[in-house]
């Protein structure tokens, strides 16, 4: 694949996510729902490149090579830039935006816009489309409507009016019976240059969570699998939530490869980075 390629390889992408439909499906809500479910079950969320000091490249050729050809994962910019290209190639009208991550955050200060998300405009309306939010990644598009509980294959979500500014929303997830904030976004358009800036920030800023911690996640039918440093969590809609601590580098490698489905990079610094995890 040439470094300057700007075309998506649909056949390779469909093989990667296990899509067995037509070679070029119609840009319908059913197609969007199908791809949105398959993508995060096949392509994991992970930050291994940041952890071992490799640059995260956002040009389409690099993203395809990493996530599709090399069967790696990535974080929000990589996932949603890849998904955006697929949708646009199929004829969807897709717009790009940025979110402020609220998940796991108690501080009152407003965080920076460090998350990428998409909106797809269809005959049925506008839908939030986001395949790259780690352990709480959506497995279905959400109608851009506030106050509506929306059931996905991996839990219930809703969008609330953020207040304080027009067209600002807060995505919430129903977790253990309580609505929990995931991220806030508005409809200020974002461009690839904006993502290049925020990608540089999250991959190099000394206080970025990605710089010193291992984060990996994948969806499976009826399950969410997440790894934060040495703690592996599996939430099964029938069996509940289980946790397991991974004490050794060998345990971490096995979990990354088997539970998370990541083809690990051939990098001499990987084991050392895993050994340093708290």
Task: Give the tens place of pLDDT for each residue, 171-204.
Answer: 999 999 999 999 999 999 999 999 999 999 999 9
* Cα–Cα distance for residue pair 56/254, rounded to 1 Å: 24
Does a structural domain hold residue 269? yes
* CATH number of the CATH domain containing 71: 3.30.2140.20
Domain that holds residue 39: 10-275
* Cα–Cα distance for residue pair 143/246, rounded to 1 Å: 39
* Cα–Cα distance for residue pair 15/17, rounded to 1 Å: 6
Does a structural domain hold residue 185? yes
Per-residue model confidence (pLDDT) at position 165: 78
* Cα–Cα distance for residue pair 239/30, rounded to 1 Å: 29
| Token digits of residue 85 | 């290209």
Q: Are 159 and 128 in contact (CB under 8 A)?
A: yes
Q: Are 233 and 245 in contact (CB under 8 A)?
A: no
Per-residue model confidence (pLDDT) at position 237: 84
The runs of H, that is alpha helices, within 43-144 are 48-52, 60-64, 76-90
Split into its structural domains, the chain has a count of 1
Exposure pattern of 232-262 as b/e (b: 16+ CB <10 Å)? bebbeeeeeeeeeebeeeeebbebbeebbbb
Does a structural domain hold residue 203? yes
Active-site positions? 76, 115, 130
Per-residue model confidence (pLDDT) at position 6: 66
Beta strand 215-220 pairing with 45-46 = antiparallel
Per-residue model confidence (pLDDT) at position 105: 85
Burial (Cβ within 10 Å: 0-12, 13-18, ≥19) of residue 143? middle
20 phi/psi in degrees, rounded to 5: -115, 15
Does a structural domain hold residue 30? yes
Bridge partner residues of 120 (DSSP)? 94, 127
DSSP state, residue 59: S
Per-residue model confidence (pLDDT) at position 1: 38
Per-residue model confidence (pLDDT) at position 191: 97
Does a structural domain hold residue 3? no
Does a structural domain hold residue 2? no
Does a structural domain hold residue 1? no
**Which are the contacts of 107, defined by CB distance < 8 A and separation ≥ 6?**
none
* First and final C-alpha spacing in the chain: 38
* Cα–Cα distance for residue pair 178/268, rounded to 1 Å: 43
The tens place of each residue's pLDDT in the chain, 278 residues long, gives: 333 446 899 999 999 999 999 999 999 999 999 999 999 999 999 999 999 999 999 999 999 999 999 999 999 999 999 999 999 999 999 999 999 999 988 877 889 999 999 999 999 999 999 999 999 999 999 999 999 999 999 999 999 999 877 899 999 999 999 999 999 999 999 999 999 999 999 999 999 999 999 999 999 999 999 999 999 999 998 888 999 999 999 999 999 999 999 999 999 899 999 999 99
Cα–Cα–Cα angle for 155, 137, 90, rounded to 5 degrees: 110
Does a structural domain hold residue 96? yes
């Amino acid at each position: 694949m040439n470094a300057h390629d700007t075309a998506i390889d649909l056949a390779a992408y469909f093989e990667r996510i296990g899509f067995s439909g037509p070679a070029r499906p119609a840009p319908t809500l059913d197609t969007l729902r199908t791809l949105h479910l398959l993508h995060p079950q096949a392509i994991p969320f992970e930050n291994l490149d940041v952890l071992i000091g490799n640059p995260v490249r956002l040009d389409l050729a690099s993203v395809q090579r990493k996530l599709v050809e090399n069967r790696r994962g990535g974080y929000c910019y990589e996932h949603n830039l890849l998904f955006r290209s697929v949708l646009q190639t199929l004829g969807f009208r897709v717009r790009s935006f940025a979110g402020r991550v609220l998940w796991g955050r108690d501080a009152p200060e407003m965080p920076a816009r460090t998350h990428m998300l998409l909106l797809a405009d269809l005959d049925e309306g506008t839908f939030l489309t986001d395949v790259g939010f780690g352990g709480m990644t959506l497995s279905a598009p959400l109608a851009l409507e506030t106050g509506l509980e929306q059931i996905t294959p991996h839990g219930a979500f809703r969008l609330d009016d953020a207040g304080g500014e027009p067209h600002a929303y807060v995505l919430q997830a129903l977790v253990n019976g309580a609505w929990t904030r995931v991220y806030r976004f508005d409809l200020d358009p974002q461009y690839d240059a904006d993502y290049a800036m925020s990608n540089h920030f999250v991959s190099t800023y000394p206080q970025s969570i990605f710089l010193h911690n291992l984060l990996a996640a994948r969806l499976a039918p009826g399950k969410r699998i997440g790894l934060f440093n040495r703690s592996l969590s599996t939430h099964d809609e029938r069996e509940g939530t289980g946790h397991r601590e991974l004490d050794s580098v060998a345990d971490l490698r096995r979990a990354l490869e088997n539970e998370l489905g990541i083809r690990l990079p051939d990098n001499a610094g990987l084991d050392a980075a895993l050994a340093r995890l708290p």
